[in-house]
Chain A
Amino acid sequence: ETGVTQSPTHLIKTRGQQVTLRCSSQSGHNTVSWYQQALGQGPQFIFQYYREEENGRGNFPPRFSGLQFPNYSSELNVNALELDDSALYLCASRVDRVSYEQYFGPGTRLTVT
């Protein structure tokens, strides 16, 4: 186990709804990244948070937003859900924003119907 936890493990939402996913980073890690992994594909970078501020963003629309808290845990919020948002959402933590290695949580499987 990597020490990175995510909740919930599975979630079913309806198109147009909003969802919040949560991540607790590994102890001592101050940087958290979020990825979206569609079925049969590699993870796609959504954004990264370092010390409570967004520190890099991938090609995702503004309805994907996030937060990082003082204890370095993080949330991913998605508004106005679309069918294509169905995916495994992964968070990964690293010691700091320049370290090479990051450790992934088990993911949250989101299904949008």
Chain B
Amino acid sequence: TQLLEQSPQFLSIQEGENLTVYCNSSSVFSSLQWYRQEPGEGPVLLVTVVTGGEVKKLKRLTFQFGDARKDSSLHITAAQPGDTGLYLCAGLKETSGSRLTFGEGTQLTVNP
């Protein structure tokens, strides 16, 4: 059973389009992180959200943590080919110490 469900699993769009990736769970997380991973490399941390309802912006990327701290979304505005990669959400639960639980990822391809 996957604790964190990401959708969509694959996304192929044209440069300039907007997109949203979702990360959902039935469990409450004390914090949630988003990572981007390129082939042959480790995940790179993009953002950490901690407070329910929190919204963080990183240039064209907007991250939101659900009010109940069970879900999160990543919205990219005017996607560029450089945004191509595997986007992973990962949650920390208070009861599991510092163990990160990852979703299965969303593979994003932005075509020029």
Listed in ascending order, the chain A residues whose CB lies under 8 Å from chain B are: 2, 4, 31, 33, 35, 40-45, 48, 55-56, 58, 90, 92, 94, 97-98, 100-107, 109
Whether the Cβ atoms of A106 and B40 lie closer than 8 Å is: yes
Q: Which residues of B contact A35 (CB under 8 A)?
A: 100, 102
B42 engages A55 (CB within 8 Å): no
Residues in A neighbouring B92, C-beta threshold 8 A: 100
Tell me the bound Cα distance from A45 to B92 in angstroms.
12
Contacts of B78 in A (CB 8 A): none
- Would B50 and A107 count as touching, CB distance under 8 A? no
* B101: A residues at CB distance < 8 A: 45
Distance (whole angstroms) from the CB of A84 to the closest CB of chain B: 17
Any A CB within 8 A of the CB of B33: yes
Residues of B in contact with A (beta carbons under 8 Å apart): 4, 6, 31, 33, 35, 40-45, 48, 50, 88, 90, 92, 96-105
Alpha-carbon distance between A92 and B6 when the two chains are bound, in angstroms: 22
Our count of residue pairs bridging A and B at CB distance below 8 angstroms stands at 70
Residue numbers in A under 8 Å from B41 (CB-CB): 106-107
Q: Within the assembled complex, what's the spacing in Å between the Cα atoms of A66 and B92?
A: 22
Please tell me if the beta carbons of B42 and A104 are within 8 angstroms of each other in the complex: yes
Known contacts A56-B97, A100-B33, A100-B50, A42 near B45 by CB under 8 Å:
no
Q: CA A102 – CA B90 in complex, angstroms?
A: 11
> Per a CB cutoff under 8 Å, which of A40, A56, A100, A105 touches B42?
A105
A90 engages B50 (CB within 8 Å): no
Residues of chain A with a CB closer than 8 A to B45's CB: 101-104
Nearest residue (CB) in A for B88 is A42
Q: Which residues of B contact A107 (CB under 8 A)?
A: 40-42
Q: How far is the CB of A26 from chain B (nearest CB, A)?
A: 12
* 17 additional contacts (CB under 8 A) given A45-B100, A56-B96, A101-B45: A2-B42, A33-B100, A35-B102, A40-B104, A41-B105, A42-B105, A43-B90, A48-B97, A48-B99, A58-B99, A94-B98, A97-B98, A98-B98, A100-B48, A102-B45, A105-B42, A109-B40
